Amino acid sequence: MAKNLIELTQDSELKSVLETTNEVCVLYFWAPWAAQCTQVDEFIRKDLAVKYSKTKFFIIEAEKFDHISEGYEITAVPTVIITQKEKIVGRIEGVNIAKLAKDVNALCAAANGISAQAGDAAAKTEIEQDLNTRLKGLVERAPVMVFIKGTAVQPRCGFSKKIVGMLNEHSIKYGYFDILTDEEVRQGLKEYSDWPTYPQLYIQGELVGGLDIVQEMIESGELMDMIPKESVAA
C-alpha cells in the first residue's frame, strides 16, 4: 500500500494531519456494504495515490467514524472530500471518476510536481481505460446481460418492459443493469458498443442488439440458438 494512503483507525490520525499541514488532503468516505464504492476505491488506491504520491489520501469508513462523517455532511457513499487548511475545497459524491480525477489533478498537481495540463490529459486517458475495463466487466457479468431503464421487476420505460417480458416469457435467465443509476455507464456503453439506444442485450459479452433486433431473433428462433443452455430455465 502506498505510504500516502492512510486507512483511518482512530480520529487523532486525521485531526493531527489536518491541523498541522497547509497541503491538500483527500478524504474518501466508504462503506463495506456499498458495492458502488468499489470503482472509486480502486481508482484512489491504484491510480490517484500512486500518481500524487506527495498528497495524503485518507480511507474513512463512514459509519465507523460517524462523527467525522457528520462533520463533513456525508449523506451517501462513496463521497470524496478534498480539504486544504481544514477547509473543504472539493466534494465529489457518488461514482464520478471523471470529476474525481479532474478535481484532484487541479488541486494536487502543483504540489506533486506535475503540470496541471499534462496531468489532466493523463487523467483523461486513465479514465477512458478504467471505464472500458468496467464496461467489459459489466457486459460479461452474466452469460445473458440486458441494460435497461429501471429494474427487471420495475422497468421504467416501455422498451425496457417489453424486452424483459420477452426474456421472461422464454424462460431465459439473465442479469441486468439499470442505466438510470449510473450516467457514466449510460453514456460510456453507447460508445463501447457503438449502439446509441437502450435497451441493449449481450450474450457472452457480445452485443446482440436492441429491442427490434431481439424481437426479430426471437420470432425466427435465432436468439434461442444463441442462448447458453445453462441460461434457459428447465
Phi, psi of 214 (to 5 degrees): -60, -40
Whether 97 contacts 133, CB under 8 Å: no
Strand order in the sheet with 56-61: 5-7, 56-61, 24-30, 79-84, 87-93
pTM for this model (two decimals): 0.56
Greatest distance between any 2 Cα atoms in the chain:
70
Confidence at residue 128, expressed as pLDDT on a 0 to 100 scale:
58
Confidence at residue 28, expressed as pLDDT on a 0 to 100 scale:
97
Confidence at residue 95, expressed as pLDDT on a 0 to 100 scale:
82
**What are the grid coordinates assigned to 111, written together?**
504540489
Confidence at residue 101, expressed as pLDDT on a 0 to 100 scale:
87
Confidence at residue 233, expressed as pLDDT on a 0 to 100 scale:
86
Helix/strand number for the chain, H first, E second: 10, 9
**Upper half-sphere CA count for residue 30 (Cβ side, 13 Å):** 22
Confidence at residue 129, expressed as pLDDT on a 0 to 100 scale:
58
Whether 46 contacts 98, CB under 8 Å: no
| Distances from the Cα of 231 to the Cα of 32, 47, 65, 173, 209, angstroms | 31, 37, 43, 5, 18
What contacts 24+ positions apart, CB below 8 Å, involve 222-231? 223/170, 224/170, 227/143, 227/144, 227/172, 227/203, 228/143, 228/144, 228/203, 228/204, 230/143, 230/173, 231/142, 231/143, 231/144, 231/172, 231/173, 231/174
Confidence at residue 181, expressed as pLDDT on a 0 to 100 scale:
80
Confidence at residue 122, expressed as pLDDT on a 0 to 100 scale:
56
Rounded Cα–Cα distance for residues 71 and 115 (Å): 33
Which residues are within 8 A (CB) of 203 and not within 5 positions of it... i.e. 6 or more apart?
A: 143, 144, 226, 227, 228
* Average pLDDT, 10 consecutive residues per value, the chain (234 residues): 90 90 94 87 90 94 95 92 91 86 87 68 58 86 92 92 95 91 86 93 96 95 94 85
Confidence at residue 127, expressed as pLDDT on a 0 to 100 scale:
54
